[in-house]
Amino acid sequence: MLQVAINGYGTIGKRVADAVRQQPDMEVLGVAKTRPNFEAETAIEKGFALYAAVEEREELFAEAGLEIAGPVEDLVADADVVVDATPSGIGAQNKELYEEYDTPALYQGGEDADLTDVSFNARSNFEDAVDADHVRVVSCNTTGLSRVIAPLREAYGVEKVRATLVRRGGDPGQTSRGPINDILPNPVTIPSHHGPDVETIFTDLDIDTLGMKVPATLMHMHSLNVTLEEEVDAADVRELFADESRLFLIPERMDIDGSGKLKEYALDAGRPRGDIWENCIWEESVSTVGRDCYLFQGIHQESDVVPENVDAVRAVTGAADAEESIETTNETLGIGF
């Protein structure tokens, strides 16, 4: 059993911990927090060993009545791989710790691409991360774009991608984020960081991205225009997407017209936390005009990278190939509505 450490038990870390626990070839060795809060208490209630990420704050856990298993250094030393799910920029600070104990580490998309050996998306470049020491699991938006681009490149070839990303202002629990009553070009310059980030997965891809922020918390929304290398019928593109396990084609009959109903559907379907690990593509939005393909997709920013982290664990440890890992992750998490 692969012993997996989770350094950072917040929005992503707690979801990755739950996902790792469901894998037949992995165990959660422990999770690390910088301070006691409701998530730290929940971790202990779930039976995860809790470690202190900051030595100077160990006494805060005792004062809160939370028993810790030790410092984060002990957790890293004993782990086969570390998933760093700390806030952007902290992973870079933690890299020296992981190198000290010679423990392979996964970082999240908020870190700079040049921090690691490779940027990772399971569908697109799993093999590039095999036996790597430091791997960056790309962001929620880059994950969503990569999952669509990969099959289009393989089936038809891609000449150009143009994507407009309408991004949520913050996650539901991020009370300090905004905007509250505004629509922001973010950034106002072109491209947004998402295009160059996708190019860390597809190094020869021509892609332009624009970003916006809106007063919403549920999901991101992408508007895509992909110029293909050949003319193709929209029905063929829909069929191509239907064969992709992490793309959910929303049928018109379901009357899901936005993020709110998508989240409601996920909750009704029994998804933990209402998570949606798949890209959600409105089937009727998939259209073609000549070589241009158009679509709308929703991306659940809190969860679409979770299965990617699980697959990355197997990649860096050489525990499985891409097909086997993706199949196992999908089956254990219940991916596919």
| Helix (H), strand (E) at residue 194 | helix 194-198
Enzyme catalytic residues: 140
Structure-block tokens of residue 4: 């997996």
Q: Does residue 218 sit in helix, strand or coil?
A: coil
140 is in an annotated binding site: yes
195 is in an annotated binding site: yes
Q: How far is CA 59 from CA 22, 238, 289, in A?
A: 32, 56, 63
What is the SS3 string spanning 94-135?
Answer: HHHHHHHCCCCEEECCCCCHHHCCEEECHHHHHHHHCCCCEE
Q: How far is CA 94 from the centre of its chain?
A: 20
Task: Please tell me whether 260 is known to bind a ligand.
Answer: no
Q: Is 11 annotated as a binding residue?
A: yes
Pairing of strands 207-214, 247-250: unpaired
**DSSP per-residue string spanning 277-288:** -SEEEEGGG-EE
Question: DSSP letter string over 256-280?
Answer: --SHHHHHHHHHHTT-GGG---SEE
- 110 annotated to a ligand binding site: yes
**Residue 309 marked as a ligand binder:** no
Distance CA 249, CA 204 (A): 28
Annotated binding-site positions for D-glyceraldehyde 3-phosphate: 139-141, 194-195
Q: Which residues are annotated as a binding site for NAD(+)?
A: 11-12, 110, 168, 301
